[in-house]
Structure 1
Amino acid sequence: MESPEGCADPDQSRPTAAQGAEPAAGRELPMFPLGSPLLPGAVLPLHIFESRYRALARRCTEDDEPFGVVMIERGSEVGGGDVRSDVGCLAMIAQHQELPDGRWVVIATGGERIRILEWLPDDPYPQALTAIWPDEPAEIDAPQRRSLAARLRRLRALASEIGALGVTATESAAIDDRLSHLADDASDPTDWAFELAGLVPAGPFDRHAMLRAPDPARRIEVIAGVLDGVEELLGDR
């Protein structure tokens, strides 16, 4: 099983029923624990070779069913025995191919955020009782949006100057175009914050802190903190 990819506190903002999540009726879902979290709206390419996750892929493609992605906080993706987060994201399979040797190539996209109500037996793959965990209401005003988008563009330009951008010129241009759009985008605060989060250079625990922030305003505080660390790192080069 393979997936794409300063750390924030992974225990920040543990979800509870009092935070506006669904009541504990829940939905049983196949689960895919990974070394990095999936954010709503993000693209997740997977190369699946473990038999248990081949079975998961077959179920989800045959039944047109989503699966849940959670970050492994301790342990390994392969072989089990991991410690899994209690916050994750729905993943919908957009493209898939089963190879002649039984491996799967899958491209999924992140949907709604979920919380784990209860882990079920890993038979034949990880499964959990889950509930959608929507953001609490919060606003991000136009000056904040312009400021954060502009700040990330400046940091990306600085990283490019010193050869630390880590993406191709084509990918970089596409990201800059998205940031230009986000600077003046008045869309839903949750959607806006998650789209910006997906463009921020961050490690898995920082991304996890973005995912589990209880509302868009707290999410952009996490993003600003990550940018502080990037700024400091680039300033030391």
Structure 2
Amino acid sequence: MGEPESILLVQGFTKDALEPILEQAGLSVVRARNGKQAVEQVQKRVPAIIVVDVMSLRIGRQRLRQKLRRLAGELPIIWITEMSDGMEESGPADFYLTRPFLPEELITQIRSLTELRAGDLVFHVLERTVYRGGRAVRLTPKQARLLETFMRHPGEVLSRRFLMKHVWNTDYLGDTRTLDVHIRWVRQAIEENPSRPVLLRTVRGVGYRFEVPPASGEEALEAPSALEEIGPPPAMVEGLLPES
């Protein structure tokens, strides 16, 4: 459960390999050499962020973007290019880095896109750790994906169907006990009183809404006394969908 979330690097064979740069910065990297491998990796497990070296691939950027967006939704994608054309066709979760660039620029952009803030709540996606009020909680992969989905849609009512699709990649709604249990665990991680939630609100008959908490200075980044974990190991909870 302590393993960090990975970065999916989509890069063909090139002398300007980015994998060593990312690994030297302490980041966990999964490599895909082409568009087909990239799609297969996302189908196996949605990464924290995707980095695509466009010029090293044979597949066109827009075609690859369509394939990845169908699987990864609003996940941030950094497109490394040698020109700025085509940016007008991008979405709000598409980001660009034009060559030449310093390694530090890429690392800084990755870290900024994977640190989510809402009021005094801070969520480090790569470490799957959420901070609030001097408390730090490490989440399981599915708990983290669920919280990330809410934090990327603040104030929006997200249906149960939407959440099951984006977090568990399934359209099956016959039994959403898995979602209910994970909602409870996420509330334990972020709410002052999980039995009376004010951040992750239930919208009866529809789904849930994430309310942005009020800011309170730098309280969320105080050094925690211990790193907590929420919920028992998934294998101990009968009937739940798997974590990975």
TM-score, normalised via structure 1 length: 0.28
- Which protein is richer in strand relative to its size? 1
Could you say which structure has the greater relative contact order, defined with CA pairs below 8 angstroms and 6 or more residues apart? Answer: 1
TM-score, normalised via structure 2 length: 0.27
